[in-house]
Chains A and B, each alone.
Chain A
Amino acid sequence: MEKNYHVCTGCSLLCDDIEVEAEKNKINKVHTACRIGVAHMKAGKEEAIFRVDNKPVDEATAISEAAAILKNAKNPMIFGLGASTNEAQKTAIELAKKINATLDDTSSFCLGSLVEALISEKIKTCTLDDVRNKADVIIFWGTDPSDSHPRHLSKYSYFPRGSEKQRGWEEERTAIAIDVRKSHTAKICGNYFFQIPPKGDAEFTDALIAGLSGKLPKTSYNYPPKKILELANILKGAKFGVIFVGRGLIYSLENLEPLFRLMKALNEKANFHLMPMVGNYNTMGFNENLFAETGYVNSVKFENGTVLHGPDYSIVEALKERTVDAALIVGSDPFSILPRSIVKNLLEIPVISIDPYETLTSRNSKVYINTAISGVEAGGSATRMDGKKVSFEPAIETNHPSDETILKKIMEAL
């Protein structure tokens, strides 16, 4: 029986095996998806909402108001887009060029540096399907997929049978967690959980490299050398290893050098790949699209045909230095994810929020446009955390406009 599967855009795993039961364009039941996915897919509202100054208006008013804000701004910023389709992202890049905007997404304070290294092929990576079919040693470093990407272990990295791993996780796979606390993932890894102190990652990396070449691994926090040597031995024997890197590791490192060193040492003895644990469903797509357009993955400013890049153009610095005078925020909630000391500067400038959900940002914005949820109410394509393109069709029909449509309309109004 051929089934009609949908794609869940709840996180960057983009699970493509979701069945939904819908009636009268409302989703009643979701099969196979995790709780994040179910909440995401069921969140649709009946009527589209457009608001200016927190008062309901019609679509045309909201769009002309948004266009007026952007037109009057000398130095506008476009932020977010991690939860938008590739098509919407490309439109936003066009829009940014047109209005000479600063363009950034969440990766500037998440995994952007690592994604850039992967896109410019400085580190070996693989796809999630390779992981399912071949991986025998899996490391979760500074990440807890059980909470952030609930189906990561069950759909790809640990539990499923793959073409070259048919006897299952107990016999053929080793999952290792390296983290500062015993996360839910670490609990599954059991004895292969290595707890290190905060900011201890760089030292642990060097100790591990020493262990790989048979030297005595030393750390200032006296991590038992026997345990590091045991870990090094497991890694040496890996036929297809993969390291999933989360923000825990990236935040703790000053630069990516220790990670490059470790990957080099690992690939001298075994076969190791690296994958960033990207959060939003299409942050990877944004990084790729912007890289293709400008050569940078985030934090850019367009200025009459030229592209400027640097930390000054990231949302954090731009808000701290108050260099921007209007903000268009698409599918992101900086009021919830950024520190108050920085994000309070957003209150001083006009904000346009385009989001499928009501968020703290949407409530504090001058213009709020409620859009369709990708994969549920609107179709498009997105890039999974491993770089694979996934396209999807809407599961139900609604009158909600997609963010791509709204961005196009704003562009026309300009």
Chain B
Amino acid sequence: MTNAMELYQMLPKTNCKKCGKTSCMAFAVALMARELKPEDCPPLMDEPKYKENYEKLSSIFKPSEGATETGLIVHEDLCFGCGNCVVACPPNVANDPYGVGSGNAPTNINKLVLTIEDGIVKAQNLGECRRFGKNKILCNGCIVTCPVEAIEFV
């Protein structure tokens, strides 16, 4: 996963404020949080010398087009439905402690972020995910528990 510093390195670093942010570093942080897009930086778009950097930046953010609102992508070909992520996911445990939180079948399906369907993990109710919304945190409960790296956040 890219961090804000890496993104900053690809920006013009002139602090021109044309994007509305106070500095390029602030823009990089906003990019990271997906509040802004690389296209929101006017010099990056207009000046040919930044063309290469712009292409790099947009390729970083490209996978997010197919991803969910929290940036969660499930690689269905890799997942084999072990359910580690379902049981380890903190909102899942909080919303269904005796169901999925205890390793059993879900009992409160409308509040669960991850469930297993036909042997493959399915993401839903992303409003419950800890990576969603303004106060999001970079929770990685589902990533570190996956034996095959089938879940990714972009």
Contacts and interface: CB of A to CB of B under 8 A. Distances in A.
A269 to B, nearest CB: 29
A214 to B, nearest CB: 34
Contacts of A159: 84, 87-88, 103, 145
Contacts of A405: none
Interface in A164-185: 168-169, 184-185
A30 B81 CA distance: 11
B55 to A, nearest CB: 34
Interface residues on B, range: 20 to 34
A32 B118 CA distance: 8
Contact of B102 (A5, A29, A30, A161): A161
A247 to B, nearest CB: 19
A154 interface: yes
Contacts of B82: 34, 146, 150-151, 153-154
B96 to A, nearest CB: 11
A161 B93 contact: yes
Interface in A129-177: 132, 146, 150-151, 153-156, 158-162, 168-169
Interface in B100-116: 101-107, 115-116
Interface in B69-127: 79-84, 86-88, 93, 97, 101-107, 115-120
B95 to A, nearest CB: 13
B36 interface: no
Contact of B119 (A5, A35, A146, A156): A35
Nearest to A145: B82
Contact of B117 (A31, A151, A154, A169): A31
A240 to B, nearest CB: 17
B97 A161 contact: yes
Contact of B83 (A30, A36, A154, A168): A154
B148 interface: yes
Given A146-B82, A184-B147, A32 B106 contact: yes
Interface in A222-256: none
Interface residues of A, number: 35
A384 to B, nearest CB: 14
Nearest to A168: B93
A34 B81 contact: yes
Contacts of A156: 103
Given A38-B118, A154-B83, A188-B84, A31 B105 contact: yes
A192 to B, nearest CB: 14
Given A184-B147, A188-B145, A132 B102 contact: yes
Contact of B104 (A17, A30, A150): A17
B117 A29 contact: yes
A30 B119 contact: yes
B118 A29 contact: yes
A3 B99 CA distance: 12
B88 A169 contact: yes
A389 interface: no
Contacts of B120: 35
Interface of A: 3, 5, 17-19, 29-39, 132, 146, 150-151, 153-156, 158-162, 168-169, 184-185, 187-188
Closest 6 CB pairs of A and B: A160-B103, A35-B119, A17-B105, A184-B147, A38-B119, A34-B81
Interface of B: 79-84, 86-88, 93, 97, 101-107, 115-120, 145, 147-148
28 contacts: A17-B104, A17-B105, A18-B105, A30-B117, A30-B118, A31-B106, A31-B117, A32-B83, A32-B115, A33-B81, A33-B119, A34-B80, A35-B120, A36-B119, A37-B81, A37-B119, A38-B118, A38-B119, A146-B82, A153-B84, A154-B83, A154-B103, A155-B87, A159-B84, A159-B145, A161-B97, A162-B102, A188-B145
Given A30-B117, A184-B147, 4 more contacts: A3-B107, A31-B117, A38-B81, A160-B101
